[in-house]
């Protein structure tokens, strides 16, 4: 595959290129993943980010083997493994006595069964890995979008600084309150084409504080000595909050906290009494973020020459740990459909491809949404949480296997790069976009 061509004039659609120019709004994990993938093609692209620089929340990102084939295709699997820590179990602990309620363990041999193991790493580390794979000249910071336009001739975005950029395809990867989605939905609402549910605001669930400590010593946090990531979920019997904390390959502890929990106990792997307050004190102030937790899967993922990916079209509760995975999967599948477009694509051809992209992805997203609700209930307080934890703890092995097959069989790959042929006991699920090919445009009669 040829190296992605350089753009000679930023902001103007390249009229000398037959391939559609893609404007990606949002330089989060989804937007960078799409840029990293398109860099392997002959499709020109640019990424626009509203912030002057990105400071990802200092939380953890866990990726199961469902992203491994894609990472191997892109040549980043080995580097990803070196930066991450093996993740095999989720330990649920009851406060305040810190009694282990149960462990949710991975399969005995995930590499043999799915082709790769689950791994965890700090979100800023994963973000930096993606950012380094995209040429600096392709990412433009400080570009807050105030309006978007599209017609049969292309798309354009206007930024708050007055700058305007043109292309052929617009991809909104700019988060739960996406400016691209808001502009697109406003257009569809005027045309009476917007489903009623998409016009409703995002439902608010709760608030989460996330952070990542400075590198700790084994004396401070003995669990760091263990080779596997220690993923511990501490729930309270009588208080409206819970905590998650993880150990990383960088000898840090990433934690997610709800409400005022400085006195809430933490299990560090020793008899020493530690609390969330200790983790907060060990965390630089700039590494703690307040995150709003909303949940919604939108019906409309695109229209015309515009498509949405990641949180812009499906905001999942982080309890399920699948937000980043689904944004990355969105980028891979959408890239397949963009790559398969004919040269000099029409609006109708682009819109048809975007509809196929949504139809391929939304069943998996809905599954992830349902799973995130289960995990959210599991760490809550009250009788629903108690029943959920009981069912999780006592789930029969065959039932757990069905859940695993349904979730971990979705391992999408790129149709335009050599496939990862790692043998597995459980084959990947059917992926329509993996078999796409770019059609040849018939020559005009006059020619």
Q: What is the pLDDT of residue 13?
A: 45
**Does the predicted model carry a pTM greater than 0.85?**
yes
Segment 225-275, tens digit of pLDDT: 998 888 888 887 777 777 888 888 888 877 665 545 778 888 888 888 888
The residue-averaged pLDDT of 49-72 equals 87
CATH of the domain at 196: 3.50.50.60
pLDDT band at 131 (very low <50, low <70, confident <90, very high): very high
262 assigned to some structural domain: no
Report whether 141 contacts 53 (CB < 8 A). yes
Give CA–CA dist 386/390, Å, rounded: 6
User: Does residue 444 carry a pLDDT above 50?
Assistant: no
* Listed residue (161, 162, 187, 190) closest to 172, CA to CA: 187
Q: What is the pLDDT of residue 441?
A: 63
259 assigned to some structural domain: no
Q: What are phi and psi of 338, to 5 degrees?
A: -65, -45
User: Does residue 354 carry a pLDDT above 90?
Assistant: yes
Between 104 and 135, the higher pLDDT residue: 135
Give CA–CA dist 405/409, Å, rounded: 5
395 assigned to some structural domain: yes
Strand partners, 231: 90
164 assigned to some structural domain: yes
397 assigned to some structural domain: yes
Report whether 130 contacts 83 (CB < 8 A). no
441 assigned to some structural domain: no
431: Cα separation from own chain's centroid = 19
238 assigned to some structural domain: no
171 assigned to some structural domain: yes
Domain count, the chain: 1
Q: What is the pLDDT of residue 105?
A: 66
Range of the domain at 146: 22-203+294-428
């Amino acid at each position: 595959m040829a190296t992605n061509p350089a753009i000679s004039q930023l902001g103007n659609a390249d009229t000398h290129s037959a391939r559609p120019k893609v404007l990606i709004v949002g330089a989060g994990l989804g937007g960078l993943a799409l840029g990293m993938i398109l860099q392997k093609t002959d499709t020109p692209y640019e990424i626009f980010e509203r912030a002057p620089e990105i400071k990802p929340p200092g939380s953890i990102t866990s990726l199961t083997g469902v992203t491994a084939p894609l990472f191997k295709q892109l040549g980043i699997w080995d580097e990803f493994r070196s930066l991450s820590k093996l993740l095999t179990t989720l330990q649920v602990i009851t406060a305040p006595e810190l009694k282990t309620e149960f462990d949710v363990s991975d399969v005995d041999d995930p590499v043999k069964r799915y082709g790769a193991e689950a791994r965890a790493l700090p979100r800023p580390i994963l973000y930096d890995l993606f950012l380094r794979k995209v040429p600096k000249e392709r990412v433009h910071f400080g570009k807050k979008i105030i309006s978007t336009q599209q017609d049969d001739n292309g798309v354009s975005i206007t930024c708050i600084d007055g700058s305007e950029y043109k292309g052929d395809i617009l991809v909104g990867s700019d988060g739960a309150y996406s400016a691209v989605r808001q502009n697109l939905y406003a257009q569809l609402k005027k045309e009476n084409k917007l489903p009623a549910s998409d016009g409703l605001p995002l439902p608010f669930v709760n608030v989460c504080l996330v952070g990542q400590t400075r590198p700790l010593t084994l004396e401070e946090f003995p669990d760091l000595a263990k080779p596997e990531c220690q993923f511990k979920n501490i729930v309270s019997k009588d208080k409206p909050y819970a905590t998650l904390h993880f150990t990383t390959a960088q000898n840090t502890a990433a934690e997610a906290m709800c409400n005022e929990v400085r006195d809430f106990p933490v299990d560090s792997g020793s008899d020493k009494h530690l609390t969330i307050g200790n983790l907060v004190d060990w965390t630089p102030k700039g590494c703690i973020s307040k995150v709003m937790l909303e949940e919604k899967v939108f019906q409309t993922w695109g229209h015309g020459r515009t498509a949405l990916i990641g949180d812009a079209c499906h905001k999942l509760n982080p309890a399920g740990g699948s937000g980043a995975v689904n944004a990355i999967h969105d980028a891979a599948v959408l890239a397949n459909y963009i790559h398969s477009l004919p040269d000099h694509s029409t609006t109708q051809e682009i819109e048809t491809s975007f509809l196929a992209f949504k139809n391929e992805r939304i069943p998996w997203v809905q599954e992830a949404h349902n799973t995130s609700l289960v995990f959210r209930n599991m760490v809550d307080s009250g009788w629903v949480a108690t029943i959920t934890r009981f069912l999780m703890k006592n789930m029969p092995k065959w039932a757990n296997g069905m859940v695993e097959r349904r979730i971990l069989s979705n391992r999408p790959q790129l149709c335009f790069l050599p496939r990862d042929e790692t043998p597995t006991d459980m084959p990947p699920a059917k992926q329509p976009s993996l078999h796409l090919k770019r059609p040849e445009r018939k020559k005009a009669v006059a020619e």
